[in-house]
Copies of this chain bind each other. A is one copy, B any other.
Amino acid sequence: MRTKYDKQLTALHDELIAMGALCEAAIQYAVQALRTRDTELAKRTMQGDKEIDQKERIIESACLKLLLEQQPVARDLREVSAALKMVTDLERIGDLAEDIADVSLFLCERPDYTAPEQIDFMVEAATKMVHDSIDAFVANDLAKAHSVMEYDDVVDRLFNEVRTVLVKRIHASMEDAEQAMDIMMVAKYLERIGDHAVNISEWVEFSITGTYKNSRVL
Tell me which of A60-68, A117-125, A141-149 binds B: A60-68
A interface, how many residues as a size bin?
A: 35 or more
Chain B residues within an 8 Å CB radius of A167: 177-178, 181
A166 at the interface (CB under 8 A from B): yes
A38 at the interface (CB under 8 A from B): no
Interface flags, A173-202, vs B, CB<8A=1, else 0? 011011011001100100000000000000
A208 at the interface (CB under 8 A from B): no
CB closest chain-B residue, reference A218: B64
A88 at the interface (CB under 8 A from B): yes
Cα A88 to Cα B171 in complex, Å, equals: 40
Cα A215 to Cα B180 in complex, Å, equals: 38
Tell me which of A3-11, A15-23, A77-85 binds B: A77-85
Using known A-B contacts A85-B88, A217-B60, A218-B64, determine if residue A171 contacts B177 with beta carbons closer than 8 Å: yes
Cα A174 to Cα B176 in complex, Å, equals: 11
A163 at the interface (CB under 8 A from B): yes
A57 at the interface (CB under 8 A from B): yes
A25 at the interface (CB under 8 A from B): no
CB closest chain-B residue, reference A168: B177
Partner of A57, one of B64, B171, B188, B217: B217
Chain B residues within an 8 Å CB radius of A170: 170, 174, 177
Interface flags, A97-110, vs B, CB<8A=1, else 0? 00000000000000
From A53, A57, A177, residue with most partner B Cβ within 10 Å? A177
